[in-house]
A and B are shown apart, each in its own frame.
Chain A
Amino acid sequence: MNGLSIALGVVGIVISVIFAPLFGFIPALIGLVASVVAIVLSINTKKATNNAEGGAGFVLGIIGATLGVVFFIGCLACGACSASYGAWGCLGGGCNAASDIESAAGGSLDELNKALDSLKDLNF
């Protein structure tokens, strides 16, 4: 269990730091989930071994979860990073994807906004 928590902690950090800026919020979410699982497994290890083991997985999981949250919320707020757009991501001092999507998408972006507005206008 200790080894698995360390492995998942590392996986969470790597996915959050490398893949999230490239491919958007889905990798950030995966990294976040992996890190949370690492934290839970390390807590179980610490309780089972009276805090003798599990420290590394715990720390790695906390770091991965923090980075995952930062990139998840950041990429979601930006909204331009998605797997469907490929590898633009948020690197390079500002996201170019938003303006490129707008100029390339044109009419289909209007359709998208109309669909979103019709859902937002609903009250019950």
Chain B
Amino acid sequence: MLPYIDLGFVKLSLYGPIFLVGAVIAIIIVRLLAKKAGVERSDALFAVIYGMIGLVIGAKLLYFFTKLPSIIAKFDIYIDLFKMDYVKALDFAFGGMVFYGGLIGFALGVIRYCKHFKVPVWGLVDLYTPFLPFVHGFGRIGCFFAGCCYGIEYNGPLSVHFPYNEVVPQLSEVSRFPVQLVEAGLNFICFAVLITLMRKELNRAEGDRKLKQGQLCGIYLVYYIVVRTLLEFLRGDALRGKIGFLSTSQIISVLLIIPAVLLLRAKNRERVFFVPATENHITKTQGIDKNK
């Protein structure tokens, strides 16, 4: 729709700022809820930063893996392209991002932070989970503006005819299904459900909570596996990679079924937002001032 805004000295791609707006709003709300969820506010912020680094690396790497078969198949042409214009060659190999790579990268970044600084992982996982579809929704709106991740040819109600996009010229050839906006809408609905569940649990006493650690994440994963698998059939951008009749994302969705089930099962896990008893926690709750 509007891939970039020309500011005169630079063309500002809209995808990044839209994604950033969603991320900043999410980080602000996460920090506000952190204390109630038993997480230090500084940990809530720093772990997100580690997660965002992992997100970019993971999303770019998975995109590269979807392009790798093409590059290997026509390696001599790719080398010629690299010699003529390495910018375009690098853009071909790394110019996009894949959500699942970003999700896995984000999770690994957060886990790395927790292991390094000995912070409980589950508290952060449960705190962040509702905001994953929230930020992703903003990302899909960015996709709509950028013209990427577009839908199949479609001429029915709510079809969209994109203007000519020099980066994706085939986008404007036909009217298309607004799959980016549909996925964004579904993500925001998922966010509303998860944040409602989260707030209900936070307002209950620890012993009365019904969910266990990781189950919020399991609910989100199940939702996304189903939605993404179905929406992939409405995607028109074949360049993102296929193996047989399944797209890369559908295959990853299948692989994530087992982790989703394990998260939902929550065997041997504490109640959600469980705060482990530490010396500081005990002395504070008992009103003991160790400095006296």
Tell me the A residues contacting B by CB distance below 8 Å. 21, 24-25, 36, 39-40, 43, 46-47, 51, 66, 69-71, 73-79, 81-82, 84, 90-95, 108, 111-112, 115-116, 118-120, 122-124
Contacts of B86 in A (CB 8 A): 82, 84
Known: A43-B49, A112-B81, A118-B74. A76 touches B238 (CB 8 A): no
B74-A122 in contact (CB<8A):
yes
The complex places the Cα of A39 from the Cα of B109 at a distance, in Å, of 14
Q: List 25 A-B contacts (CB under 8 A).
A: A39-B49, A40-B53, A43-B46, A47-B46, A66-B20, A70-B10, A75-B10, A79-B87, A79-B88, A82-B85, A82-B86, A82-B87, A84-B86, A90-B9, A91-B9, A94-B6, A112-B81, A119-B70, A119-B78, A119-B81, A119-B92, A122-B73, A123-B242, A124-B242, A124-B243
Identify which of B46, B84, B91 contacts A76 (C-beta below 8 A). B91
Please name the residue on chain A nearest to B79 by beta carbon: A115
Say whether A120 contacts B239, CB under 8 Å.
yes
Contact of A119 among B3, B15, B71, B167 (CB under 8 A): B71
CB distance from B32 to the nearest CB of A (A): 18
B42: Cβ under 8 A from any A Cβ: yes
Write out the residue numbers on chain A whose beta carbons fall within 8 Å of the beta carbon of B238: 123
Residues of B within 8 A of A (CB): 3-4, 6, 8-13, 15-16, 20, 42, 46, 49-50, 53, 69-71, 73-74, 77-78, 80-81, 84-88, 91-92, 95, 117, 167, 238-239, 241-243
With A71-B10, A91-B9, A120-B239 given, is the CB distance from A77 to B87 under 8 Å? no
